[in-house]
Amino acid sequence: MISRRHLFAGMAAVSATGVARAALAGLPEPVIRTTAGTAAPLLPPDGRPYQPVVTLNGWTLPWRMRNGIKEFHLVAEPVQREIAPDCTARLWGYNGQSPGPTIEVVEGDRVRIYVTNRLPEHTSVHWHGQRLPNGMDGVSGLTQPAIKPGETFVYEFEARRPGTFMYHPHADEMTQMAMGMMGMWITHPKGRHPHIATVQRDFCFLLASYDIDPGSYTPRIMTMTDFNLWTWNSRAFPGIDTLNVRQGDRVRIRVGNLTMTNHPIHLHGHEFQVTGTDGGPVPPSARWPEVTTDIAVGQMRQIEFVADEPGDWAIHCHKSHHTMNAMGHNVDTLIGVDHQGLASRINRIIPDYMVMGDKGMADMGAMAMPLPENTAPMMTGTGPHGSLEMGGMFSVIKVRPDQRPGDYSDPGWYRAPAGTVAHRVAAPEAPAPAAAPAPSAPASSAPPLRVRKPGMHEGHEH
Ligand SMILES: [Cu+2]
């Protein structure tokens, strides 16, 4: 009799010849997706019923049911991801995109995941947060040999507890996560769970950061903290889709953090509760109201609220540098500096030098300065009232009384009732502030004059 153990060993050996023999080896055909739009929720065609999630600018991986086991096929491979309009990255991901597709199963499901490696180096998949046999934990070298290029491995375990989890490599992890290899895993509860509410909308996304020099396409993998693209599901505003809900819906948003720093996620217009972590559902007695929740590295936070206020409500990371796109940080503050006559003198040496920043950085949002190829503007996006001056980890929750149940399409901008929008009033015009007088300082301590073009990555000074 062939034991399951023998079966696994046999499959790994057969599949070492590559995914082209998938049919021969009995593997499910890998499903590939190459667009960055938000896919409609995948209604489960078989197995236990559940309310599916919507992966922001992503999708759920279809499975094959075989002898009562849900079989998935992940393909680790180089991908192209449009991070924002005008900015496409060469990343590594799964099944055509970064992040990889969301895997959705139900508590108690037996799950088998084939992983084919089409990367130029070995990899593995760690199922972050899952209870599983040690040998299925995906730590290369520790619990399994690494999956070499061209090989297919199989993982199999029972989804033992409901919650929001993640998957990512545990082999050359620093490189592979900096290149975009990650995905979400949702285990829905079977039946009613005392700590899990029924919701009408259920969204999920992963926080990821990239350092892509203006004019280039591949992330700098050695960057530790000074990233220039802060993304949700490898998209940056204005590339992140809006979260469109019906007024009165109970809304759940699941956020996982696989960046190198924490992100305080802030919601406008509503209070929410953290109803779950990667440790599972939070008992109701242990919850408290918040409008911002900090998500540390390697954590997941699941927030819930009733969307009872109609409007276009911002949701964003509260670190203001994380709602910017490509920018240099080593730029002097010029607020209050009197530039009068300076630009024309500098222009004799540098013809395209522009005076910027003397009144703040809002000019950056309005300016149409030519940018290097493949560069998302630092501050961008236009709303019904003008420039948003945002980038990075920013989107909008659109709450509408007439959004149909199950309809996730964008209803357009909110039309506020007359008399409910902040507006200019007739008042004596305030005088413009004069430039601050320069403090007297010894001539020897005067700072050297350095000229930079705004928006350039540091290290590209001229
Ligand atoms: Cu942040």
Ligand 1 centre distance from Cα of residue 169 (Å): 23
pTM of the predicted structure, to 2 decimals: 0.82
pLDDT of residue 337: 67
pLDDT of residue 19: 42
pLDDT of residue 215: 85
Ligand 1 centre distance from Cα of residue 311 (Å): 24
Higher pLDDT, 461 or 292: 292
Ligand 1 centre distance from Cα of residue 319 (Å): 5
Ligand 1 centre distance from Cα of residue 410 (Å): 25
Q: pLDDT tier at 345 (50, 70, 90 boundaries)?
A: confident
Ligand 1 centre distance from Cα of residue 218 (Å): 21
The tens digit of pLDDT for each residue in 320-340 reads 889 888 765 556 666 666 666
Question: Residue 251 in contact with residue 306, Cβ under 8 Å?
Answer: yes
Q: pLDDT tier at 462 (50, 70, 90 boundaries)?
A: very low
Ligand 1 centre distance from Cα of residue 41 (Å): 27
Ligand 1 centre distance from Cα of residue 271 (Å): 19
pLDDT of residue 390: 84
Residue 253 reports pLDDT greater than 90: yes
Ligand 1 centre distance from Cα of residue 265 (Å): 7
Give the CA dihedral 191, 192, 195, 200, nearest 10 degrees.
Answer: 90
- d(Cα 311, Cα 415) in Å, to the nearest integer? 8
What value does the CA radius of gyration of the chain take, rounded to a whole number of Å?
Answer: 25
Ligand 1 centre distance from Cα of residue 295 (Å): 9
Q: What is the DSSP letter of 140?
A: B
CATH 2.60.40.420 given to domain 25-192: yes
Among 61-70, 81-90, 178-187, 282-291, which is the least confidently predicted range? 81-90
Ligand 1 centre distance from Cα of residue 389 (Å): 16
The tens digit of pLDDT for each residue in 40-72 reads 999 999 999 999 999 999 999 999 999 999 999
CA 315 to chain centroid: 13
Ligand 1 centre distance from Cα of residue 236 (Å): 12
Residue 82 backbone dihedrals phi, psi, to 5 degrees: -75, 110
Ligand 1 centre distance from Cα of residue 282 (Å): 24
pLDDT of residue 86: 84
Ligand 1 centre distance from Cα of residue 177 (Å): 17
Ligand 1 centre distance from Cα of residue 212 (Å): 17
Ligand 1 centre distance from Cα of residue 401 (Å): 31
Higher pLDDT, 14 or 24: 24
Q: pLDDT tier at 128 (50, 70, 90 boundaries)?
A: very high
Ligand 1 centre distance from Cα of residue 235 (Å): 13
Q: What is the DSSP letter of 41?
A: P
Ligand 1 centre distance from Cα of residue 435 (Å): 33
Ligand 1 centre distance from Cα of residue 97 (Å): 22
Ligand 1 centre distance from Cα of residue 102 (Å): 22
Among 9-23, 183-197, 293-307, which is the least confidently predicted range? 9-23
Element housing 363 (H / E): helix 363-366
Mean pLDDT of 84-103: 95
Q: How far is CA 98 from CA 130, 164, 204, 447, in A?
A: 22, 18, 14, 44
Which residues partner with 305 through β-bridges? Answer: 251
Q: pLDDT tier at 4 (50, 70, 90 boundaries)?
A: very low
Ligand 1 centre distance from Cα of residue 113 (Å): 32
Q: How much is the mean pLDDT over the chain?
A: 86
All structural domains of the chain with their residue ranges: 25-192
pLDDT of residue 382: 83
Mean pLDDT of 285-290: 97
Ligand 1 centre distance from Cα of residue 301 (Å): 14
- Residues found in the chain: 462
The tens digit of pLDDT for each residue in 254-263 reads 999 999 999 9
Nearest Cα neighbor of 58 from 97, 106, 105, 116 is 97
Q: pLDDT tier at 1 (50, 70, 90 boundaries)?
A: very low
- Both tokens of 26, joined, read 């009995």
Ligand 1 centre distance from Cα of residue 20 (Å): 41
CA 60 to chain centroid: 15
Ligand 1 centre distance from Cα of residue 277 (Å): 18
Ligand 1 centre distance from Cα of residue 60 (Å): 25
Ligand 1 centre distance from Cα of residue 187 (Å): 26
The tens digit of pLDDT for each residue in 210-230 reads 999 888 899 998 998 889 899
The tens digit of pLDDT for each residue in 130-145 reads 999 999 999 999 999 9
Nearest Cα neighbor of 205 from 128, 124, 98 is 98
* Residue 44: CB atoms within 10 Å: 20
Residue 364 backbone dihedrals phi, psi, to 5 degrees: -60, -35
Ligand 1 centre distance from Cα of residue 332 (Å): 23
Ligand 1 centre distance from Cα of residue 266 (Å): 10
**Percent of the chain whose predicted confidence (pLDDT) is above 70:** 80
Ligand 1 centre distance from Cα of residue 314 (Å): 14
Q: pLDDT tier at 14 (50, 70, 90 boundaries)?
A: very low
pLDDT of residue 11: 37
Residue 71 backbone dihedrals phi, psi, to 5 degrees: -110, 125
